[in-house]
Amino acid sequence: MSEDVDALRARHLAELAAAQTLEAVEAVRVAALGRAGTVTALLRALGRMPAGERLAAAPRVQALREELSAAIEARRRTLAAEALALRLEAERMDMSLPVPPEPQGSIHPISRVMDELAEIFADLGFAVAEGPEIEDDWHNFTALNIPPEHPARAMHDTFYLAGDPPGRVLRTHTSPVQIRTMTGGRPPIRIIAPGRVYRSDSDATHTPMFHQVEGLVIDRDTHMGHLKWTLETFVKAFFGVDDVVLRLRPSFFPFTEPSVEVDVGCSWEGGRLQVGGAASWLEILGAGMVHPRVLANCGLDPAEWQGFAFGCGIDRLAMLKYGMTDLRAFFDADLRWLRHHGFRALDVPTLSGGMAP
């Protein structure tokens, strides 16, 4: 037994030293420690030995198994490190290569408009708020004064999610962010909530996923005059015109009372939209005073607090400002379209620099 142990140690260690691939190391492991391996055979032979001989031989066989196991693992790590070093050497990148004369990437128009919105409203004291895109029924509907039997739910072609917990939806608007803001903090509140929303609709001006921005102000003594001034200031800065005329038409939204549709004065010159004046009108967003029930649902006393909210599609704003006619092109990932309509990576919008196209 002693000679067998020494002979196997010398043999398998020599085989490991000669192994130049991970496959060769695995072959040594199988030959020594596999089910039919040489060391495994010695371990089985221990059971057939007399007790005295077994007591003397067992420690040597166990030590051999542990020594070979450690040597195999060490050789495997060595070969793996050498292979990685060769790969890194072969895949080396020369970081001193010159930059192409023209940048290859660009900022998507939707990302650009979202940056513009954040810049404009930050100047008005608004913070940017975010929330989950998978919402529960309470935040997406009930807290916004849209109970299960309310006909306003028919206005939203909602994507409902299967599984537990029940009642989960892909949010149909960013209004749940308003609810989370009101329940998570105390007024005064001034936020905008940009983000992706989902509705089952698709044509030249609608997609199942689109982008929306909503604004919320909660304070004491807030009124419709504050709302109109905020929207006028936003439109002037966004379109880069001073001659802005807004028209507020009575409308209905479950979460605001009173509710209005907001039109902006415009004209059409050479088939291109020009914001300004009052030759024609174009609807751009919906707004209103936050419904008292919504305030109460969020734990705010309607007798103490009131505010206004507004919302519009970011994709629609981009189409109006930059002269695009088909919303679906925003999501086609067509490099030719992106190169034409995209913005330079370092062209960050600022109020001082102007935001007109």
Do residues 146 and 110 make contact, with C-beta atoms less than 8 angstroms apart?
Answer: no
Do residues 330 and 182 make contact, with C-beta atoms less than 8 angstroms apart?
Answer: no
Residue 301 pLDDT class (50, 70, 90 cuts)? very high
pTM of the predicted model over 0.75: no
Short-list 251, 234, 238, 252, CA closest to 322: 238
Residue 198 pLDDT class (50, 70, 90 cuts)? very high
DSSP 11-28: HHHHHHHH--SHHHHHHH
Helix axes 22-33, 38-46, angle to 10 degrees: 20
318 Cβ contact partners less than 8 Å away, ≥ 6 residues apart: 109, 110, 112, 113, 324, 330
What integer pLDDT is reported at residue 139 of this predicted model? 95
Interval 160-181: pLDDT, tens: 888 888 889 999 999 999 999 9
How far apart CA 258 and CA 224 sit, in angstroms, is 9
Q: Is residue 105 over pLDDT 80?
A: no
What average pLDDT does the segment 87-108 reach? 76
The dihedrals phi and psi of 250, each to the nearest 5 degrees, come to -60, 140
